[in-house]
Amino acid sequence: MGYMSATLLRLAALCVLATAAATACSSSDSGKAPDDTATPMGHTYLSTEVEGDPIPGGGPMRLTFAEGRISANSGCNTSSGTVDLSDHVLSTSPLASTLMACADDVGMSDAWQNSFLESDPTWRLDGDKLTLTGKDTTIHLTDKKIVTPDKPLTGTTWVVTTLITEQGHVRSTTLDEVGANLTIGAGGTVNGMAGCNRMTGTAGVGPGDAVNFAVATTKMMCAPDVMEIENAVLRALDGRTTSTIDGDSLTLRNDNGNGLILHAQ
């Protein structure tokens, strides 16, 4: 009987030690504080799910946070302004917007987007996932690098969506309709449409983000608004540019102050 009692006491002691160790581990895990220092700044996000009123036209919403500013597009115009992310509340200045007219439900996406962003929604960041919660709507977004990895500069057909001028960014329905585009071949050849005319030439892809363009076009004449777009495209592709790729978006900025924003076809 004494032997059995001693054995039971030793087993009981082992169980107490095991329970204490498990409790210590559990306390350590549950006491791990979340990282509250991470913010969306410096990243672009795309919406993957909307709880509540859907985006008119289907979206998606694209949000870019950079240098204390926010840029948003949900299918029609791009809105931008300053942003404050303090206390996990997204507070924006009144958002300024481009002025392109969009048809059908897409045309209502601007008002939906700006109303939500200017309502001081709360935000939560969990790794690559950003959640914005408003009064009646919750938007789930994922880092654009995850949704759309960077496209290669060469071998991709890039379609012009925005003109960059010294006065600012320009979008228009005419620009969308003409479908100005370019493709840089593996050997540095350039082919595409400037707006009215076909263009061919070369692109010297240098170290870093430098691309040097030399292009020529056919000589057909089109409507004045189309020719205006073509001239802007050709000014942007005249000589040295710097290129930046973000997912399926390419930005070319010429040393002469002109540039283009293009999206992969």
* Predicted local confidence at residue 100, as pLDDT: 82
Closest listed residue to residue 7, CA positions, set 20, 15, 19? 15
Backbone angles phi, psi at 185, to 5 degrees: -75, 165
Q: Where are the domains of the chain?
A: 44-147, 157-264
**Among 1-5, 229-233, 261-265, which is the least confidently predicted range?**
1-5
* Predicted local confidence at residue 72, as pLDDT: 97
Would 44-147 and 157-264 be classified into the same CATH topology? yes
Query: Where is pLDDT greater, at 31 or 140?
Result: 140
Mean model confidence pLDDT for the chain: 88
* Predicted local confidence at residue 167, as pLDDT: 84
With cut-offs at 50, 70 and 90, classify the pLDDT of residue 31. Answer: very low
* Predicted local confidence at residue 35, as pLDDT: 57
* Predicted local confidence at residue 27, as pLDDT: 40
> What do you get for the CA distance between the two ends of the chain, in Å?
84
pLDDT digits (tens, 9 = 90+) for 96-136: 988 888 888 999 999 999 999 999 999 999 999 999 999 99
With cut-offs at 50, 70 and 90, classify the pLDDT of residue 148. Answer: confident
**Among 107-111, 141-145, 165-169, 254-258, which is the least confidently predicted range?**
165-169
The tokens of 84 are what?
A: 């404050």
Residue 177 gets which letter from DSSP?
Answer: H
> Would you call 16 helix, strand, or coil by DSSP?
helix
* Predicted local confidence at residue 99, as pLDDT: 83
Residue positions counted in the chain = 265
Q: Is the pLDDT of residue 16 over 70?
A: no
* Close Cβ partners of 11 (under 8 Å, ≥ 6 residues apart): none
Q: Is the pTM of this model over 0.75?
A: no
* Predicted local confidence at residue 9, as pLDDT: 39
Name residue 35's amino acid. D
Rg of the chain (C-alpha set): 27
Average pLDDT over residues 145-168: 93
Percent of the chain with pLDDT over 70: 86
Please give the class, per CATH, of domain 44-147. Answer: mainly beta
* Predicted local confidence at residue 15, as pLDDT: 38
Closest listed residue to residue 46, CA positions, set 120, 169, 118, 149? 149
> Which numeric CATH code is attached to 157-264?
2.40.128.270
Average pLDDT over residues 66-89: 95
pLDDT digits (tens, 9 = 90+) for 200-225: 999 999 887 999 999 999 999 999 99
* Predicted local confidence at residue 177, as pLDDT: 95
